[in-house]
Amino acid sequence: MSTEKVLEVHQLTKQVGQGDSQISILQGVELVVEPAQTIALIGESGSGKSTLLGIIAGLDDGSAGSVKLMGQDLTNMDEEARAKLRAKHVGFVFQSFMLIPTLNALENVQLPALLKGESEKHSYARAVDLLKLLGLGERLHHMPAQLSGGEQQRVALARAFCTQPAILFADEPTGNLDRKTGDKIADLLFSLNRDYSTTLILVTHDNELAARCQRRLRLVDGQLKEES
């Protein structure tokens, strides 16, 4: 396993608005993440956790400061280069699922692996296995509109896992699930970490999920505070 830092964030700030209405969401955030660490980002609603996640995942820009992901500086990287970096190394689970409405569940899960250059045979088999593991074996060919919110969330999780990413960013991965399904999702997250040394960075309000992470970082007044 590489000893290179997976993520390095220094003096990251994020401001929105103009003039007197300008609001500081992040103020001098510092964060260094080692390979295979599991991290919970916690804090009050509206504290900026999802904003921080978007920036460190290369989906948004900060106002100042630097972010290095997998050893590459995102600060001056164009969107095409960021997209290639994400496709190669990163998995995402969003609150809004972001499934492609014209693809069925299986196709949604398989697509990132195909875009990464994996074979049809292997990506298909892994996608089927993941969906079955998440209790969606009877929903493989259902379109997103035919699935419940919880089912769509599980498809999104399977999609994120399908490429066996080096780092997985997840925004409330168990947020819309019952406890039994949420525990199954958590077990799958940590099995990725155990079996593939996948680094996990999770935004969560789930205290039980946060407690399973090696590090718990609370976002307070725009800064991260490490909790014991």
Candidates 3.40.50.970, 3.40.640.10, 3.90.226.10, 3.40.50.300; correct CATH number of 35-61+78-227? 3.40.50.300
The answer to whether 197 and 1 have CB atoms below 8 angstroms apart is yes
pLDDT digits (tens, 9 = 90+) for 172-191: 988 877 888 788 888 888 98
pLDDT digits (tens, 9 = 90+) for 58-67: 999 999 999 9
The domain spans of the chain are 35-61+78-227
The pTM assigned to this predicted structure is 0.86
pLDDT of residue 177: 78
pLDDT digits (tens, 9 = 90+) for 107-123: 999 999 998 889 999 99
Residue 63: CB atoms within 10 Å: 14
Question: Is 2's pLDDT higher than 70?
Answer: no
Token representation of residue 127: 């996608």
The answer to whether 113 and 130 have CB atoms below 8 angstroms apart is no
SS3 210: helix
Q: What confidence category does residue 1 fall into, taking pLDDT thresholds of 50, 70 and 90?
A: very low
Q: What confidence category does residue 196 fall into, taking pLDDT thresholds of 50, 70 and 90?
A: confident
